[in-house]
Amino acid sequence: EAQVTQNPRYLITVTGKKLTVTCSQNMNHEYMSWYRQDPGLGLRQIYYSMNVEVTDKGDVPEGYKVSRKEKRNFPLILESPSPNQTSLYFCASSVTGPNQPQHFGDGTRLSIL
């Protein structure tokens, strides 16, 4: 089954404790992206990757890191999480191009105390 898999689905952690949210897709997509969804602010892009070893900042990259060492994986790293990073996070992937729909993972709910 074609899918984007995020882990964990839920995480409660404390300020400053490094964490990684994994994302993997099995559709051989070149493009991958991370979004966060917050009430009143909607969905905003954090980072994206056009292909292996090619990553770039989205609209809200501060406090996050990403890497793309393999085509299928695009982990999101919070080196020193803070409470303002409490949010619902989505990983998405697609074929490159404006006419291609992005397919989303099921989301990761992060709470940082």
Q: Which of 88, 112, 92, 111 is nearest to 101 (CA)?
A: 92
CB 23 within 8 A of CB 5: yes
Among 38, 59, 70, 79, binds another protein (CB under 8 A): 59
Smallest gap, in angstroms, from Cβ of residue 85 to another protein? 17
Residue from 1, 42, 62, 69 touching another protein (CB under 8 A): that is: 42
Amino acid 52 reads: V
48 binds another protein (CB under 8 A): yes
Sheet holding 65-66, edge to edge: 4-7, 19-25, 76-78, 65-66
Query: Cβ 33 to another protein, closest distance in Å?
Result: 6
Contacts of 1 (CB under 8 A, 6+ apart): none
Kind plus residue range of the DSSP H or E element containing 88: strand 87-94
Task: Tell me, by CB under 8 A, how many residues bind another protein.
Answer: 27
Q: CA 74 to CA 45: how far, in whole Å?
A: 14
Query: Nearer to another protein by C-beta: 5 or 13?
Result: 5
Please tell me whether residue 107 binds another protein under the rule CB under 8 A: yes
By CB under 8 A, name the one of 21, 24, 25, 35 that touches another protein: 35
Residues that bind another protein (CB under 8 A): 31, 33, 35, 42-43, 45, 48, 50, 56, 58-59, 88, 90, 92, 94, 96, 98-107, 109
